[in-house]
Structure 1
Amino acid sequence: MLKRVYDWCIAAAEKPYALWILAAMAFAESSFFPVPPDVMLAPMSLARPKRAWVFASVCTVASVVGGLLGYAIGALLYDSVGHWLIQFYHLGDKVEAFREGYARWGSLVILLKGLTPIPYKLVTITSGFAGYNIWLFVLLSAITRGCRFYLEAVVLHRYGDWIRERVERHLALWVILFLIVLVLGFVIAIKFV
């Protein structure tokens, strides 16, 4: 099964709709979907290393736009359901302390967590909830997501053939390592965020 999925991703790089699939995945991951776009970005870049830059650009733009949806979810849920829950549990004073802390450290949070395996949707939704400056949020999201996806593009462009040979030889091992990193990101997010 893993081989079929991998082969489908490799073959998708040649299709005219490849960029749309990649964009949809990056968009969804920044707002509500649990699987990162690297699942498509890496195999597509391995299949066509010279287009790794294009793939990274699509991921960056779609991720930032998807981040705006995540931001809206955080902002709108607070105004509707979130505010009622805060009052119900008598946590009004803690929300303002959280917002003050996020106003002070939000830039660092966005920049660092955008590079990690911690799900980026947590950053986007939290930014909206905290009322973080939307224009600064967009700028920082473009920087951090661009760094992540372009770093991946540099590595896959330069060492793509070498990496592809090893991935295909030990596909199950690489998928297991990827899943461990993904689960670790969720665990870190739940325990420490």
Structure 2
Amino acid sequence: MAQQVSEFFEDFGYIGMFIHSFIDAIIFPIPAFFTQVSLSMLDPQSGIWLATVGYIACLLGTPVGYVIGKKLGEPVLNKFLKPKWVEKATESFTRNGEAAILIGAFTPIPFKVFTILSGCFHYSIWKLIGYAAIGRAVKFYVVGVAFYLFGQASEEFVTEYLTYFMAAIAVILIGLFYFKKKLDKKKKQQPESQENFVG
């Protein structure tokens, strides 16, 4: 199915890349990655331009996915989950949303999941767009630059090893967020300890 979808959008060139990437950030199940690779294989020198088109379209689609989550996501959650669970999930996503969004941008998990959840849990749309801008830039431009520099020879890296490369970045980010959280917790405990000592 992914191949059929990419072949369909491939016929429209840059416009197809834009449309696929836009709807990928909203609700479409097949990632725009497949169309980007197909078009880059046809013309490797256009790799960076294709990455730019896909990247911009993704950022434009992100707030649309957010609005869908905000308007439709919460009623569905409240219908199937207990209110306390929804409240806890909202609190958790609000507290750790930046980690989920940024790390999620490097995983095979469809990015639309994070745009919709962000709206559903009332996460800051500006933070969503900001972290999406960072994570999605890496994902689009690694593919684009690879094809631009190495041509069709980069197909094996992109199709077979890129997932592992992105997973490694995700693991590093998880570690960084973990240590940041521990450091912040330690900083909060220090003033409390000093107040108790003074008291």
Q: TM-score, normalised by structure 1?
A: 0.72
Match of 1:125 in 2: 116
Aligned pair in 2 of structure 1 residues 160, 79: CA closer, same or farther (>3 Å)?
same
Structure 2 counterparts to residues 43-54 of structure 1, below 5 A: 43-54=38-49
What does residue 72 of structure 2 align with?
77
Report the CA distance between 1:80 and its aligned residue: 4.5
Higher Cα Rg, which structure: 2
Which structure 2 residues correspond to residues 105-144 of structure 1 after superposition, within 5 A? 105-144=96-135
Percent of residue pairs bearing the same amino acid type:
27
TM-score (normalised: structure 2): 0.70
Paired position in structure 2 for 1:38: 33
**Separation in 2, partners of 1:2, 1:93:** 39
What 5-or-longer segments of structure 2 have no aligned partner?
Answer: 164-199
Change in Cα spacing, 1:50 to 1:6, as seen in structure 2 (3 Å) is: farther
Kept in 1, the 8 Å contact 2:45–2:151? The answer is: no
| Structure 1 stretches lacking a partner, 5+ long | 168-173, 182-193
For these two proteins, the number of residue pairs brought into alignment is: 161
- The CA RMSD over aligned residues, in Å, is 3.0
Matched, 1:23 2:34: no
Contact 2:118 2:128 in 1 (8 A): yes
Q: Secondary structure at the match of 2:100?
A: helix
Structure 1 runs of 4+ off > 3 angstroms? 5-12, 78-83
